[in-house]
Structure 1
Amino acid sequence: MSLSADRQRCRLSRPGVVCSLGDDLDTIAGALFNGQRGLTTSAAFTPERDLPLGMVTCALPDWHDWPPEQRSRNNRLLALAMQRLHDTLMTLRESVAPERIGVVIGTSTSGIGETEHAIAQAGREGPLPETFRYANQELGAPAHFVADRLGARGPVYALSTACSSSARALASARRLLASGTCDAVVAGGADSLCRLTVNGFASLEAISERPCLPFSAHRDGINIGEAAALFVVTEEDGGIQLAGVGESSDAYHISAPRPDGSGAHEAMRQALAMGGYAPEAVDYLNLHGTGTPHNDSMEARAVTALFETPPPCSSTKGLTGHTLGAAGALEAAFCWLALTHQQWPVHVFDGHPDPELPCLDLVASARAAGRMRSALSNSFAFGGNNAALLMTREEY
């Protein structure tokens, strides 16, 4: 089922991505389709407790010439993602007026890591370092950073709905185009590792001390990661289209998903309805799949309630860790790669699916995808902030 002529066009450019798998799309695709984990064991954020983390290890742009209020690891990740989008961004600047270019970035950490360093340096009594700027950790800072480097003067804002932040940023980009407010939107997300997030999830007893095992009978929690992923979103034909978005807020609990998966189900249903797709037309499902007992149980129930026969699916968090506010855009980029290369991302776990969960078609080893035309990506967050993105390949 394809988009009809009267449906909104919403093309996703080749993405700029940096994550624990690398910053080159070919390298990332190789790891994605062969199930190669990008996790590093470290006690950097949890002294005396080694944890697997999806740490970015490639060289990041130098920030010493940046204004002090822009010097954050989040912005360094975004700057590298922008470098990987260089040609697309240059074409954008030459073809679209600055006031018609919008920027929407999803994040949950912004520059909190830099605040942690400043407080540690100051101690309990000392003043904060002269180089510290509180503006580093404002949630809107990453969006303004991207807009400043690009010269964009259209709408510029951030969204922070925890783990669905950057999926909602892409949904917002689609709305900015549909409303006629923008001719192009740079959209995506970034989150960086810091003590607050790693220890926060540890305090919820949601962290695993081994590489996570989504949907396994032996799953015991998540791994935290960091990433940045950006797209240029335009009203053009062809390529990979953001054909539908679905959003719901079930507000069941501040940190736990609704057990029956009804909010997740509604987000997926909306995305398919907007794109004009029946469930059986979906060729691949990127699961939120955190590896926690409650999330995976809820999501399996939501998926099997919507799909009479679930499509091939995988959680890529076993490869990158959970990149929080960046996860929605990062996994949209993975779906972009899957549709472009016609290969399914591998679901990495211990090979023991939980028999108490509804059965899913987990892509547990590299296998040919055949003719893949559509992919649905799930992002579910604290407070029941759910989002689903339907992407389609329109060249057929």
Structure 2
Amino acid sequence: MKPLAVSAYTVTSALGHGLDAHLEALTAARTGLRANDFSRDALTCWIGRVADVESTPIPDDWRHRDCRNNRLAWLGLQQDGFLDQVNAARDRYGASRVALILGTSTASIGATEEAYRRLEDQRIPPDMREPDIHSPHSLILFVADALGLEGAALTMSTACSSSAKVFASAERLIRLGVVDAAVVGGVDTLCDSVLYGFNALELVSPEPCRPFDRTRNGISIGEAAGFALLERAAARPGAAQLIGYGESSDAYHMSTPHPEAAGARLALQDALDRAGITPEQVDYVNLHGTASQKNDDVEAGLIAQVFPDHTRVSSTKGFTGHTLGAAGIVEAAITLLAMQQGFVPGNLGASEPDPVCGPQFAWRNETRAVNVALSNSFGFGGNNACLAFRRGGV
């Protein structure tokens, strides 16, 4: 495929607001996870909660779309000069020529939970009767208005691969001439449905998650917002580039990955093929690495089979928690940051590496050039995505 320039990007998570906060936490090997102080009945677990979401006001023009998920989106959009970059792209191409593609797994379901808790005579209270809030498209409706965009607008909801697959959709729209640029990203906030849902599946750890540790016992759920602006490479020489992507759906099981990584392997190979690269050329892979038993076992086995010893790999969910529908964009942003700064983030949380892990694993931070990198995102139902990036100027 023809590369796309990543003209701008930003991320807000439990590590902090914006790229500088993330770089500081990553280089200091400091987690953003903390004991659960969100769920109503204090479920015993650790979470990646974003600071200041509740105190972030939605601008008056969009008060009818006020909910925690949209507050986090607005908080995230204001970091790293991202709004200025989007405004410049909108002026350059026209509002109808910039697409908006956002991933989310829960959208504003937290607001719907609140509405049902506050039923009045078995009816949703008047201040919560806003259809846009109780919609899977609440995020895209809010952000399209906030950015003043009038082009193609898509909500991607494929579980944990949601905000990785947005890059693939953007590439297709730009390649086909439907638009000239695209804002991609994802936002998911903490809510009881997610915390108790994953707990019911016996997937939530009572302590900070430990991806790829021999004694790992489940995930830590986080929340995040992340965005990127994609344009044709010629428009932004010197910028980091999206050089490939891969997608697959093995449909092996509702929540368990294929034991032989069939779908993940297809997505990985698809990304390499589109990028025109071999595994030997990949410097770093940001793994999906949720710290669940099955996911880590399958993904580690795939890495050992495909990549040479010198390729470095790690999961960064020990820093942020699993941000669900926002995981793809969060980990893409961390990958881009690692490329820009010349380091590999360590696999935070693991003290006893699982024997299935090969020599590719970076258990601690490493300083090294990262010219080509991949980011894996694997969702429920075997809905997989893999992104390939190249450092700017290479």
After TM superposition, the score normalised by the length of structure 2 is 0.94
Question: Is 1:323 matched with 2:323?
Answer: yes
CA distance in 1, matches of 2:63, 2:18: 28
Question: SS of 2:213's equivalent?
Answer: coil
Task: Indicate if the aligned counterparts of 1:101 and 1:184 stay in contact, CA closer than 8 A.
Answer: yes
After TM superposition, the score normalised by the length of structure 1 is 0.94
The equivalent position to 1:77 in structure 2, one of 72, 78, 103, is 72
Deviation readout 1:126-163 (Å, 9 max, x if unpaired):
32111212421322221121111111111011010000
Could you list the structure 1 runs, at least 4 aligned residues long, displaced by more than 6 angstroms after superposition: none
Task: Indicate if the aligned counterparts of 2:3 and 2:244 stay in contact, CA closer than 8 A.
Answer: no
Question: Which residue pairs with 1:51 in the alignment?
Answer: 45
CA distance in 2, matches of 1:315, 1:178: 31
**How far apart are residue 239 of structure 1 and its match?**
1.4
Question: Which residue pairs with 1:363 in the alignment?
Answer: 362
Deviation readout 1:283-326 (Å, 9 max, x if unpaired):
00100000000000110122222224361111010110000000
For 1:372, give the aligned amino acid.
V
The 5 Å alignment of 1:180-329 reads 180-236=177-233, 237-309=237-309, 311-329=311-329
Q: How has the CA–CA distance of structure 1 residues 64 and 145 changed in structure 2, closer, same or farther, with 3 Å as cutoff?
A: closer
Q: Any stretches of 5+ residues in structure 2 without a counterpart? A: none
CA distance in 2, matches of 1:204, 1:376: 29
CA distance in 1, matches of 2:152, 2:93: 14
CA distance in 1, matches of 2:106, 2:310: 34
CA distance in 2, matches of 1:243, 1:193: 32
**How far apart are residue 71 of structure 1 and its match?**
1.2
* Bigger shift: residues 109-118 or 53-62: 53-62
Task: Indicate if the aligned counterparts of 1:167 and 1:389 stay in contact, CA closer than 8 A.
Answer: yes
Question: Is 1:9 matched with 2:3?
Answer: yes
The 5 Å alignment of 1:32-47 reads 32-45=26-39, 47=41
- The alignment of Structure 1 onto Structure 2 pairs a total of residues equal to 387
For 1:269, give the aligned amino acid.
Q
CA distance in 2, matches of 1:273, 1:350: 32
Task: Indicate if the aligned counterparts of 2:103 and 2:166 stay in contact, CA closer than 8 A.
Answer: yes
CA distance in 1, matches of 2:37, 2:91: 46
For 2:38, give the aligned amino acid.
A
- Say what the alpha-carbon RMSD is for the aligned residues: 1.6
**How far apart are residue 69 of structure 1 and its match?**
4.4
Question: Which residue pairs with 1:25 in the alignment?
Answer: 19
CA distance in 1, matches of 2:357, 2:11: 33
Question: Which residue pairs with 2:176 in the alignment?
Answer: 179
**How far apart are residue 16 of structure 1 and its match?**
2.1
Task: Indicate if the aligned counterparts of 2:222 and 2:320 stay in contact, CA closer than 8 A.
Answer: yes
Q: Any stretches of 5+ residues in structure 1 without a counterpart? A: 1-6
CA distance in 2, matches of 1:217, 1:373: 31
The 5 Å alignment of 1:85-234 reads 85-122=82-119, 125-132=121-128, 133-234=130-231
Task: Indicate if the aligned counterparts of 1:16 and 1:229 stay in contact, CA closer than 8 A.
Answer: yes
Question: SS of 2:336's equivalent?
Answer: helix
